[in-house]
């Protein structure tokens, strides 16, 4: 199919873009990489009267690493972020999760911030934003504001952003010192959406686990984080694998998937437990306290 007719706009500045979006609201959609929007247009699941293309805007293609965050501009593609050495050093979960996003051709065009804005519960990057205590910076004619990940996602494909706001940057929190992080998911074919996925962060100090957090893909309606501190805090890392079954059981009880054409809810819950147990065992088996 082809998209319904729309008027195409290619502003040259962020000020012009937010002005257009405000003027055309609610009949406009924002285009960055297009890997989420274009299929919706082609299938006529979205029929905006106007499309505002951000690709000419300067300054939105940057990756900056600070003492606290990895800052990702709205035009940074998955592939560029995946290959960024400084970003990987500060937050290895980014590269590990991005390796599972679609195919290389999709990662070469799709943008990480666009994926966050799309808020698909099957998407890896919204979950990583939540798991790393991230936030987004948004812009409109009313000015700029920051929205934490915990307040951003309202439901499947739904965020708390106003129709005339543009998400210009996502900030992913850095991995704490000596923490260990991993990501795993299962899909029937490479490039498919996962039937279940898990991101896990273990905090370590003096050879002991001090805390743990898990985030989930394809099994919750919004990116949610499960705190596992009570289950693991105080365990020697060398003996922590014995808690893997308990951690997996907590993850399985936490997720609330639904039956669909791809898998039953029970199967997705089972996969979540299996992936969590394997990932926890793998991370606790790493030598030393470094990631």
Summarised one tens digit per residue, pLDDT across range 233-267 is 999 999 999 999 999 999 999 999 999 999 999 99
> Of 135, 201, 198, 199, nearest to 169 (Cα)?
135
**Predicted local confidence at residue 288, as pLDDT:** 66
Longest dimension (CA), the chain: 61
What is the SS3 assignment for 176? coil
H helix or E strand, kind and range, residue 227: strand 225-227
> Of 119, 123, 120, 109, nearest to 147 (Cα)?
119
**Predicted local confidence at residue 158, as pLDDT:** 96
Residues 6+ apart with CB under 8 A from 140: 18, 21, 22, 162, 164, 165, 166
Angle, helices 265-284 vs 244-254, to 10°: value is: 150
Buried b (16+ CB within 10 A) or exposed e, 196-229: bbbbbbbbbeeebbbbbbbbbbbbbbbbbbbebe
Summarised one tens digit per residue, pLDDT across range 132-151 is 999 999 999 999 999 999 99
Which one of 3.10.20.30, 3.30.390.50, 3.40.50.2000, 3.30.420.10 gives the CATH number of domain 180-284?
3.30.390.50
**Predicted local confidence at residue 63, as pLDDT:** 98
Output the six-digit token pair for 1.
């199919």
The CATH-assigned architecture of domain 63-173 is 2-Layer Sandwich (3.30)
Q: pTM here?
A: 0.95
**Would you kindly state where each structural domain of the chain is located, as residue ranges?**
7-53, 63-173, 180-284
**Predicted local confidence at residue 291, as pLDDT:** 39
Which one of 3.20.20.70, 3.30.43.10, 2.40.50.140, 3.40.50.980 gives the CATH number of domain 7-53?
3.30.43.10
Q: What residues of the chain score a pLDDT lower than 50?
A: 290-291
Residues 6+ apart with CB under 8 A from 61: 73, 75, 76, 80
């Amino acid at each position: 199919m082809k998209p319904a007719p729309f008027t195409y706009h290619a502003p040259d500045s962020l000020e012009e873009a937010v002005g257009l979006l405000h003027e055309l609201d609610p009949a406009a959609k924002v285009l960055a990489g297009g890997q989420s929007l274009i299929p919706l247009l082609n299938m006529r699941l979205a029929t905006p009267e106007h499309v505002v293309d951000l690709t000419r805007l300067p300054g939105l293609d940057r990756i900056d690493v600070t003492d606290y965050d990895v800052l990702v501009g709205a035009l940074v593609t998955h592939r560029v972020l995946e290959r960024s050495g400084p970003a990987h050093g500060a937050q290895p979960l980014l590269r590990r999760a991005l390796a599972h996003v679609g195919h290389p051709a999709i990662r070469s065009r799709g943008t990480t911030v666009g994926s966050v804005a799309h808020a698909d519960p099957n998407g890896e990057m919204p979950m990583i934003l939540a798991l790393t205590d991230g936030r987004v910076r948004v812009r409109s004619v009313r000015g700029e504001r920051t929205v934490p990940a915990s307040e951003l996602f309202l439901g499947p494909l739904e965020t708390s952003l106003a129709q005339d706001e543009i998400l210009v940057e996502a900030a992913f929190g850095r991995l704490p010192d000596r923490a260990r992080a991993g990501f795993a998911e299962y899909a029937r074919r490479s490039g498919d959406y996962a039937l279940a996925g898990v991101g896990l962060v273990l905090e370590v100090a003096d050879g002991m686990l001090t805390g743990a957090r898990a985030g989930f893909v394809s099994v919750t309606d919004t990116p949610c984080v499960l705190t596992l501190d009570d289950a693991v805090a105080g365990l020697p890392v060398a003996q922590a694998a014995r808690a893997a079954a308990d951690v997996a059981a907590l993850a399985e009880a936490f997720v609330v998937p639904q039956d669909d054409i791809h898998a039953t809810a029970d199967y997705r819950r089972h996969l979540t437990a299996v992936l969590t147990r394997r990932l926890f065992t793998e991370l606790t088996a790493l030598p030393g306290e470094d990631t």
